[in-house]
Structure 1
Amino acid sequence: MNFDDLVAFDFHVHAEEPCCAARDDGYNEFQAGMAKYFRNPAGVEGMLPTVQQTADYFRERKIGFVIFPVDAERETGFRRYANEEVAEIAAQNSDIMVPFASIDPAKGKMGVREARRLMRDFGVKGFKFHPTYQGFFPNDRMAYPLYEAIAEEGGIALFHTGQTGVGSGMPGGMGMRLKYSNPMYLDDVAVDFPTMKIIAAHPSFPWQEEALAVAQHKPNVYIDLSGWSPKYFPPILVKYANSLLKDKLLFGSDWPAITPDRWLADFEKIEIKEDVRPLLLKENARKLLSA
């Protein structure tokens, strides 16, 4: 990947559709709820993009990106998209795509073994965690052996934070508990794994100030700006983006729920300093991936 040829780098892209697999019970309802939450028809059956279609879309726009599945089999019963398959497609599109993986920390030693193999043999650069979707507190010591493997192999840990579209509006929120995704729990992880790069994904409603505090205080914590149109960013987030955290914020869309086209168009309209825009759109990602 040649960053100089890119107009931006998206740190938050989902691999939603495993090839050749029927959808599990409840999956269509889950995606319909997500589509309603994000006002995006992508969740309608048959409309979610494949990983290759995603690569083609981003390449056309000269936007590099991190892609990942989410392993929430234990909590939801939805079969995960095989990490190896996503990584193999990423390798075929390495000019535009960087592979991350996802492992439920509850998988214990099997998960640790898989993580090391993915980083060593498949070029995986990091891991996506979704505490609400996976049902765990990020600072639960159960997850620490997996973090240790990621840190020792030089990987990045990306955590969903704040409210989620998963289960939004469904009975009982589809069993999703928002409490798990308070970014303050990442403070413990950052203390205990000071060499591991940590990304708090999304503006962390209703805990935005907690996320900003952790990112400012801990050198190894970053924030990606995915999941929200920039026009809805709270003023304090914009203020920190222009000052204390200008080197630690990352562009992310949350594809396919939010497209880069929509995100970037709205980003143009908010009050970000001209010298800060390149940092958020690409340069911070370049430094983080090369660190």
Structure 2
Amino acid sequence: MVIDAHIHVQPWRQLRPGALDRISSGRSDLDLIRRLFDDPAAFLRFLDEQGIDRAVLVNYVSPDVIGFTDEVNEWIGNYCRGHEDRLVAVGGVHPRLTPDPAGAIQHIVERHRIRVLKLHPPHQHFFANAYRDGGNLPGLAALYERAQSLGVPVIVHTGTSIFPDARNKYGDPMTLDDVAVDFPRLTIIAAHGGRPLWMEPCFFLLRRHPNVHMDISGIPPRALLRYFPRLAEVAHKTLFGTDWPSPGVDSPRRNLEEFRALPLPPEAKEAILGGTAERIFARRS
């Protein structure tokens, strides 16, 4: 079982010009990407060709950086409808722009069948622990509490972003230390493992907190063991992901082949390629 736990299938037409330029730069497969984003059946065939059994389709709300509005939740819910055995719909809310984040989460889970939430601090301009110590987003606590009570995992972008108007100070994964302590039953996934500035803190969080995991999307597989030399120790908390079609990611298959070539124990590879994700993203009725 191979699960790409971080791949982007998104409403292409909502992208802001700057974001579209950054994604498009140097790519020769833009027509294919557009077709796949318009046709779930074609995307499933693409996954077969790439050697991927299931995919977690990451979306989030960021109107001022990427262009995605709240409508992205309905879009991805409809895209995955009827294919939930292979596709996991990821949506979200904007913590700074949503008056009632907890209510908004309840709505998108019930109405649009969103199964996982995505927060992107560098693109939404907030610290993940901004509900504490006089922070400016007390509603974040209610957001995490509602996700915890619903059993909905939360993916949080950690590390840097090269998109226009991203604010990288918000990408420090150590802000998740508070979240993991305050919401111990919340499943947290640190996307990108804090790449490239905060990989050691991310590894620390995985070892400290039972509820913190990471995906390795956006990290060149050939460099993975240089960044995480003790990766096998946290294989049961690590998820394979490609971040396709983000800048620098040619194809899921290439990432998969490069990962399989790493000198890791077979059981560690099995956990990272699918076992961990299968446990976290188990389908709920």
TM-score normalised according to structure 2 size: 0.85
Aligned equivalent of 1:282, options 265, 274, 284? 274
Aligned positions of 1:189-268 closer than 5 A: 189-204=179-194, 205-237=196-228, 239-243=229-233, 245-257=234-246, 258=249, 259-268=251-260
Aligned positions of 1:126-141 closer than 5 A: 126-141=116-131
Q: Mind listing any 5+ residue stretches in structure 2 that lack a counterpart?
A: 132-136
Percent identity between matched residues is 24
Residue 165 of structure 1, CA deviation: 3.1
Contact 2:10 2:76 in 1 (8 A): no
Contact 2:23 2:245 in 1 (8 A): no
Q: Residues 234, 182 of structure 1: CA spacing in aligned structure 2 closer, same or farther, 3 A cutoff?
A: farther
Aligned positions of 1:47-66 closer than 5 A: 47-48=33-34, 49-50=36-37, 52=40, 53-60=42-49, 61-66=51-56
Offset from partner CA, 1:24-77 (integer Å, 9 cap, x none):
6xx2332222344xx5445x588544062433322443420111322111x337
CA–CA distance in structure 1, aligned partners of residues 32 and 68 of structure 2:
17
Offset from partner CA, 1:229-282 (integer Å, 9 cap, x none):
201225251x32212x12100011112223311210111222211221111001
Contact 1:108 1:146 in 2 (8 A): no
Q: Which moved more, 1:101-110 or 1:188-197?
A: 101-110
Q: Residues 269, 125 of structure 1: CA spacing in aligned structure 2 closer, same or farther, 3 A cutoff?
A: same
Contact 1:224 1:250 in 2 (8 A): yes
CA–CA distance in structure 2, aligned partners of residues 17 and 56 of structure 1:
19
Return the letter of the residue paired with 1:175.
D
Offset from partner CA, 1:196-244 (integer Å, 9 cap, x none):
000001132111000000111010000101012201225251x32212x
Q: Mind listing any 5+ residue stretches in structure 1 that lack a counterpart?
A: 1-6, 167-173
User: Residue 171 of structure 1 corresponds to which residue in structure 2?
Assistant: none
Q: Residues 92, 59 of structure 1: CA spacing in aligned structure 2 closer, same or farther, 3 A cutoff?
A: farther
Is 2:151 the counterpart of 1:154?
A: yes
TM-score normalised according to structure 1 size: 0.83
Contact 1:163 1:178 in 2 (8 A): yes
Q: How many residues align?
A: 267
User: Residue 12 of structure 1 corresponds to which residue in structure 2?
Assistant: 6
Contact 1:28 1:45 in 2 (8 A): no
CA–CA distance in structure 1, aligned partners of residues 280 and 238 of structure 2:
10
Contact 2:239 2:277 in 1 (8 A): yes
